[in-house]
Amino acid sequence: MRTRAGRPAGPGLLAALLGAIAVGPLLLYGLSATSDLIIRDLGINAAQFGLLATACFACATVGNAALGRVADRRSDRTLMIAVFALAAVALGVAALADAFVVLLVAAGLSGLAQSFPNGVTNRILLQRVPAQQRIGWTGIKQSGVQVSQLVASLAFPALAVWIGWRGASALGVILALALMVLALRALASVPPLQAVGSALPHTSAATGGAAGQSDGVSVRRATRRTGQPFAVWALTVFGCLNGLGVQATNVYLPLFAVRELEFSLVAGGATAAVAGLVGVSARIGWGKVMARGASAPALLLVLALLALGAAGSFYAAGATGWSALLWVAVALHGASALGVSVVLMAALLRSIPAASMASASGIVTAGMFAGFTFGPLVMGSLISAAGGFETGWIAVGGVYAVCVGVAAYLLRRQRRAAAEGDGPHVGSAD
């Protein structure tokens, strides 16, 4: 299918969407991969290092929550420029950082760069990509976060050995600007589809494939005063809880490998890179599963159970010192917790029209980033206390246990409502 007066929505546009998702987290993943070096260089402790992630994700939380409706009224081009430019500025500030407070500012700017990507890329999918491709593309573009994790976790430690972590950040500026140019060119070549407009009906505009699909836990039920259906709030809660565990793990994974299992700096970074690589495959794979009509609550339940297993494996690796258990934990973490985002975004594509996609995506993303904000802060405090990493992994496991409960509740609610014939529900493909 071709777009009006332009090229078909092909690899160039897909790469632009993936780049927009990937560029914002690049700095934080790079700092995490070189955390042991940064902690020693700046004379800070693990809890202080966790504040970098807290600053980043707090700014992202506020940005997604406060700017979502503003984003609904801005063009795709404007939002894409904001995403890449803010990421480049953040990397530039980090390259010049001579004190911890400056690095905190850079982390905050990196968080602001993550305020718009989910909303604008979801809207682009609805308005410029044929319906049969959207959910599959969601899995690929959401894997941008793990592509960022993979690239940063491999490149930053290697570059840090050569030109320092500040030099690695400086090279990141060039990468972000180059990606912006390529993304804007791809966006300009693929105008909106003729069949998609801002005033389309709720169900037809939001479907990811067959007409009538929805991920609202009864989209026809009364919406909250904010105008968002229950589906948005349900997905937000799960995203927040999962986010707590995700970034508590991501931020401190290389440090755990270096300090507890005596990995080298580069090998420690490789643990996060492997998690990112598995996460890329997981997001693409779970996206394909969603594209075939799978239930979102059912998938969220599976992912939460796997993430709980990952936390247990991390604990066992620290308690026994067995590196093999660490790699098992890394693989489970990448396949489960890192795959949640694509399920959440695909669920939105089934439920939300293009005209309010940026704000709905902003709310769900704000929930995820709220979890991202507190996860590293809590983990840093726990591992700096007497219990160390073992206490930290117990806390992560507890969070994922709650995720299991939330997903099970949503699945029961979906099945009960479906039995009552109360319209489309989360994850249904009616």
Query: What is the percent of the chain where pLDDT is above 90?
Result: 41
- Token pair 């990811």 is at which residue? 208
Q: What is the pLDDT of residue 17?
A: 94
Flag whether pLDDT at 32 surpasses 90: no
Digit-coded pLDDT (tens) for 80-123: 999 999 999 999 999 999 899 999 999 999 999 998 888 888 88
Q: What is the pLDDT of residue 422?
A: 56
Flag whether pLDDT at 430 surpasses 60: no
Give the mean model confidence (pLDDT) for residues 252-281.
Answer: 88
Q: How far is CA 302 from CA 32, 268, 296, in A?
A: 28, 28, 10
Q: What is the pLDDT of residue 407?
A: 92
Q: How many CB atoms lie within 10 A of CB 408?
A: 16
Flag whether pLDDT at 67 surpasses 80: no
Q: How many CB atoms lie within 10 A of CB 189?
A: 16
The pLDDT-based confidence of 394 (bands split at 50, 70, 90) is very high
Q: Residue 55 carries which side chain, given as an amino acid letter?
A: A
The pLDDT-based confidence of 182 (bands split at 50, 70, 90) is very high
- pTM above the 0.85 mark? no
Give the mean model confidence (pLDDT) for residues 203-207.
Answer: 38
Flag whether pLDDT at 336 surpasses 90: yes
- Token pair 């802060």 is at which residue? 377
Contacts of 142 (CB under 8 A, 6+ apart): 21, 283, 287, 341, 342, 345
Range 11-419 classified under CATH 1.20.1250.20: yes
H or E element in which residue 195 lies: none
Q: What is the pLDDT of residue 211?
A: 32
Cβ(3)–Cβ(189) under 8 Å?
no
- Token pair 């966790």 is at which residue? 50
Q: Is 428 helix (H, G, I), strand (E, B) or coil?
A: strand
Flag whether pLDDT at 184 surpasses 90: yes
Q: What average pLDDT is seen over the chain?
A: 83
The pLDDT-based confidence of 216 (bands split at 50, 70, 90) is very low
Rg of the chain taking only CA atoms, in angstroms: 20
Flag whether pLDDT at 148 surpasses 70: yes
Flag whether pLDDT at 213 surpasses 80: no
Angle at CA 333, nearest 5°, toward 268 and 380? 60
Q: What is the pLDDT of residue 377?
A: 85
Query: What is the percent of the chain where pLDDT is above 70?
Result: 87
Torsion (CA) 229, 235, 236, 239 in degrees, nearest 10: -170
Flag whether pLDDT at 231 surpasses 50: yes
Q: How many CB atoms lie within 10 A of CB 245?
A: 29
Q: Is 214 helix (H, G, I), strand (E, B) or coil?
A: strand
Q: Rounded CA gap, 8 and 5, in Å?
A: 9
Digit-coded pLDDT (tens) for 244-262: 999 899 888 988 999 899 8
Q: What is the pLDDT of residue 35?
A: 87
Digit-coded pLDDT (tens) for 44-61: 888 788 889 889 988 988
Digit-coded pLDDT (tens) for 298-321: 999 999 999 999 999 999 999 999
Flag whether pLDDT at 421 surpasses 80: no
Q: Rounded CA gap, 16 and 10, in Å?
A: 10
Q: Rounded CA gap, 416 and 309, in Å?
A: 28
Residue 222 gets the label, from left (phi > 0), alpha (psi -120 to 50) or beta, of beta
Q: What is the DSSP string of 283-316?
A: HHHHHHHHHTT--HHHHHHHHHHHHHHHHHHHHH
Q: Rounded CA gap, 331 and 319, in Å?
A: 18
Better-scored residue on pLDDT, 210 or 16: 16
Compute the residue count for the chain. 430
Phi, psi of 5 (to 5 degrees): 55, 35
Give the mean model confidence (pLDDT) for residues 15-42.
Answer: 92
The pLDDT-based confidence of 194 (bands split at 50, 70, 90) is low
Q: What is the pLDDT of residue 6?
A: 53
Digit-coded pLDDT (tens) for 154-175: 899 999 989 999 999 999 999 9
The pLDDT-based confidence of 208 (bands split at 50, 70, 90) is very low
Cβ(272)–Cβ(254) under 8 Å?
yes
Give the mean model confidence (pLDDT) for residues 171-198.
Answer: 83
Phi, psi of 353 (to 5 degrees): -75, 160
Flag whether pLDDT at 215 surpasses 60: no
Q: Rounded CA gap, 166 and 109, in Å?
A: 16
Digit-coded pLDDT (tens) for 281-294: 888 899 889 888 88
Burial of 316 (0-12, 13-18, 19+ CB in 10 A): middle
| Top mean-pLDDT range of 115-129, 332-346, 355-369, 413-427 | 332-346
Q: Rounded CA gap, 393 and 415, in Å?
A: 33
Q: What is the pLDDT of residue 68?
A: 67
- Token pair 């709905």 is at which residue? 360
Torsion (CA) 116, 119, 120, 124 in degrees, nearest 10: 170
